[in-house]
Amino acid sequence: MVQTLTVLGLESSCDDTAAAVVRHGENGAEVLSSIVQGQNELHSAFGGVVPEIAARAHAEKLDTCVMQALEEAGLALSDMDAIAVTAGPGLIGGVMSGVMCAKGISAATGLPLIGVNHLAGHALTPRLTDGIAFPYLMLLVSGGHCQYLIAHGPDHFTRLGGTIDDAPGEAFDKTARLLGLPQPGGPSVEAEARAGDPTRFRFPRPLLDRPGCDLSFSGLKTALMRMRDQVVAEKGGLTRQDRADLCAGFQQAVVDTLAEKTRRAMDLYLNENPAEPVIAVAGGVAANSAIRSALETACDEKGGRFTAPPLALCTDNAAMIAYAGIERFRTGARDGLDLTARPRWPLDHTSPAMLGSGKKGAKA
Ligand code: KG4
Ligand code: ZN
């Protein structure tokens, strides 16, 4: 008999302020409400997320988000069994805003507090949406993350590889910026690429010559800049077709690289888990139809089942945090009011630390 649990989740690690209520019981999980308030308009003039602006906006919006999430679920705080909050990794000011808000609610109501790793939220989403059983292979591809993980349990992940520099979403965003296309770059580059010839410009396929499933995307941006400058030098500017061909060539390089590295990750995963292989993908970049279908094909070739959560649960949201909180709650995990916000928090403690900072702060 599985005890039914209802948990309020909070997310504020980057530029989305979010609150959600999730219930989980005998018949699986149900998202009772999921409120996401984006901050695009606050950051658009700066060409990227400004951490201090993000933190202030989270502090201002979290309480209304919580009230909306409860109202939409038709529940009160007294109906909750616990409160789960992203405690890292991410932009530290935003993470602190969420943690402080959750601590306040916990102190005022006595609700147990559970700190959740944002990446675990993404990585456990296939269990929330499709009830996928452990273990499974997970690819996180977003503006801030890119890694292959084997999910063994709510707190147990093995990192098989990931980007050594930019995340793919970051590369799409930078490509859009270099070509004067609107942000977020992913959807604009994908739309342009539809009318483009992916073979006109020859982009590199980074790290395919090296074994393993680490990835690199920062070289693609440099290649694009060089090709763009060459066309501009020859013709005095870019035509619509030049832009489309550049986008198509760039996107094809990302598609080919992710497909090949996914095949390798699948081989590594199958070595250890031969029965009923499942690969799940999450993150905003999974919205790209060329990438999605290449991953699906790579998965089919290896005899695996492919699953991708609906887009609203692929991108940053608080339902995944509430759900990950439920999974942790069931293992007996509880945090006290000494819960700290962590800018860097790798899911696999044994994997080497990533260097540098990305859109979401320190790389995890
Ligand atoms: O998961 P998400 O909402 O936030 C992060 O955790 O970063 O992902 C946002 C990223 C952005 O970089 C955006 O350009 C990218 O996902 N993205 C896409 C597409 N839609 C969103 N990238 C490629 N193709 C798309 N259709
Ligand atoms: Zn995320």
pLDDT in tens, 53-112: 777 888 889 999 999 999 999 999 999 999 999 999 988 889 999 999 999 999 999 999
Which tens digits make up the pLDDT trace of 269-308?
999 887 878 999 988 898 899 999 999 999 999 999 999 9
Which tens digits make up the pLDDT trace of 316-351?
899 999 999 999 999 999 999 999 999 888 888 776
Q: Which ligand is nearest to the CA of 15?
A: 1
Indicate which residue's Cα is closest to atom 3 of ligand 1: 315
Which pLDDT does position 223 carry in this prediction? 97
Residues in Cβ contact with 302 at an 8 Å cutoff, skipping those fewer than 6 apart:
263, 266, 267, 270, 277
Indicate which residue's Cα is closest to atom 5 of ligand 1: 143
Q: Which ligand is nearest to the CA of 254?
A: 1
Taking 60 as the threshold, does the pLDDT of residue 33 lie above it? yes
Report helix, strand or coil for 352.
Answer: coil
Which pLDDT does position 182 carry in this prediction? 87
Indicate whether this model's pTM tops 0.85.
Answer: yes
Ligand 1 atom nearest to CA at 170: 12
Which pLDDT does position 37 carry in this prediction? 87
Distance 332 CA to ligand 1 centre (A): 34
For the chain, the average pLDDT equals: 91
Q: Which residues of 264-288 are buried (b: 16+ CB within 10 A; e: fewer)?
A: bbbebbeeebeeebbbbbbbbbbbb
Would the CB of 284 count as within 6 Å of ligand 1? yes
Asked whether the beta carbons of 294 and 307 are under 8 A apart, the reply is: no
Distance 2 CA to ligand 2 centre (A): 29
Would the CB of 166 count as within 6 Å of ligand 1? no
Which pLDDT does position 357 carry in this prediction? 54
Indicate which residue's Cα is closest to atom 22 of ligand 1: 186
Indicate which residue's Cα is closest to atom 19 of ligand 1: 186
Query: DSSP string spanning 297-347?
Result: HHHHHTTPEEE---HHHHSS-SHHHHHHHHHHHHTT--B-TT----S---S
Taking 70 as the threshold, does the pLDDT of residue 173 lie above it? yes
CA neighbours closer than 13 Å in the CB half-sphere of residue 136: 25
Would the CB of 121 count as within 6 Å of ligand 1? no
4-18, 175-189, 241-255: which is most confident: 241-255
What average pLDDT score do residues 263-268 get? 95
Taking 70 as the threshold, does the pLDDT of residue 14 lie above it? yes
Best mutation site among 285, 295, 311, 321 for ligand 1 pocket (most ligand atoms within 8 Å of CB): 285
Would the CB of 190 count as within 6 Å of ligand 1? yes
Distance 158 CA to ligand 2 centre (A): 18
The pLDDT-based confidence of 22 (bands split at 50, 70, 90) is very high
Taking 90 as the threshold, does the pLDDT of residue 198 lie above it? yes
Report helix, strand or coil for 150.
Answer: strand
* CA torsion, ordered 59, 47, 200, 229, to nearest 10 deg: -160
Would the CB of 287 count as within 6 Å of ligand 1? yes
What average pLDDT score do residues 170-199 get? 94
